[in-house]
């Protein structure tokens, strides 16, 4: 039996149940009732103090005995009021401590229930089977990754051909196309007749005119 189960163990005889103290809820209810009763007593004492103080002022020097009796009663009421203040502080501290203890108990109880539920879930789990399952999952993931890589890679069609030979054949085809284009180009034909030349007689006459002009300029 776990420590938590021992902490919250139930059962027992009816006699032991009868000997057990009040529950936290019952104790808290009693403390709140006591606080309410003492708060009402505080209001009553404060009212009596005001009343006795008013009587002391009323009698004053006219009736010193009555005034002194009123002040004495006021002092007693003030003392009781101070005691009630201290009692309320103690009860408030006790109530807060009990509330915190009850909260912690409920938290531990719920945690114990959760631990028992988790234990029940894990009872049907075999660690060896879990290890085998995780190993199978890892292997299948590796297989799936290999398949994905194989599908995504470019198929190696045509890799058996020599790339240099293919380039040489391509250059031959380009050269053939170039030669074919050169053959199809038609150059202009050379004229069969000679171009007309300047008549010799005319040229000779022009030269003579030039010589005459030079002679005239020199003289």
What pLDDT sits at residue 126? Answer: 78
Residue 163, pLDDT > 70, answer yes
Is residue 73 a contact partner of residue 48, using CB atoms and an 8 Å limit?
A: yes
Is residue 111 a contact partner of residue 4, using CB atoms and an 8 Å limit?
A: yes
Q: How far are the Cα atoms of 81, 117, 136, 159, 160 from residue 172, in angstroms, in the given order?
A: 122, 83, 58, 22, 21
CA atoms within 13 A on the CB side of 174: 6
| Start-end of H helices in 20-126 | 24-59, 64-123
How close are the terminal C-alpha atoms of the chain, in Å? 154
- Please give the residue that has the higher pLDDT: either 84 or 62: 84
What would the mean pLDDT of 15-25 be, rounded to a whole number? 67
Is residue 71 a contact partner of residue 55, using CB atoms and an 8 Å limit?
A: no
Instruction: Kindly tell me the number of DSSP H helices and DSSP E strands found in the chain.
Output: 7, 0
Cα 75 from Cα 52, distance rounded (Å): 9
Cα 155 from Cα 150, distance rounded (Å): 9
What pLDDT sits at residue 7? Answer: 47
What pLDDT sits at residue 180? Answer: 79
Is residue 88 a contact partner of residue 38, using CB atoms and an 8 Å limit?
A: yes
Is residue 32 a contact partner of residue 71, using CB atoms and an 8 Å limit?
A: no
Cα 117 from Cα 135, distance rounded (Å): 28
Q: Is the pTM of this model over 0.85?
A: no
Biggest CA-to-CA distance, the chain: 180
pLDDT band per the 50, 70, 90 thresholds, residue 77: very high
Q: Which of 18-27, 56-65, 107-116 has the highest mean pLDDT?
A: 107-116
């Amino acid at each position: 039996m776990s420590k938590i189960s021992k902490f919250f163990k139930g059962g027992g005889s009816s006699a032991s149940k009868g000997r057990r103290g009040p529950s936290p809820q019952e104790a808290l209810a009693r403390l709140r009732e006591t606080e309410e009763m003492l708060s009402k007593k505080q209001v009553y004492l404060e009212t009596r103090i005001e009343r006795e103080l008013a009587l002391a002022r009323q009698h004053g020097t006219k009736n010193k005995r009555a005034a002194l009796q009123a002040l004495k009663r006021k002092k007693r009421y003030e003392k009781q009021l101070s005691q009630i203040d201290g009692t309320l502080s103690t009860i408030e501290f006790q109530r807060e401590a009990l509330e915190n203890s009850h909260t912690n108990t409920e938290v531990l109880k719920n945690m114990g229930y959760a631990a028992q539920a988790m234990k029940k879930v894990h009872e049907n789990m075999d660690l060896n089977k879990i290890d085998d399952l995780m190993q199978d999952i890892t292997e299948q993931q590796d297989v799936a990754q290999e398949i994905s890589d194989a599908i995504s890679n470019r198929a190696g069609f045509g890799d058996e051909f020599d790339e240099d030979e293919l380039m040489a054949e391509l250059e031959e085809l380009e050269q053939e196309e170039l030669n074919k284009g050169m053959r199809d180009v038609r150059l202009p034909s050379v004229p069969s007749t000679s171009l007309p030349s300047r008549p010799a007689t005319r040229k000779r006459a022009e030269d003579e005119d030039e010589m005459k002009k030079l002679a005239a300029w020199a003289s």
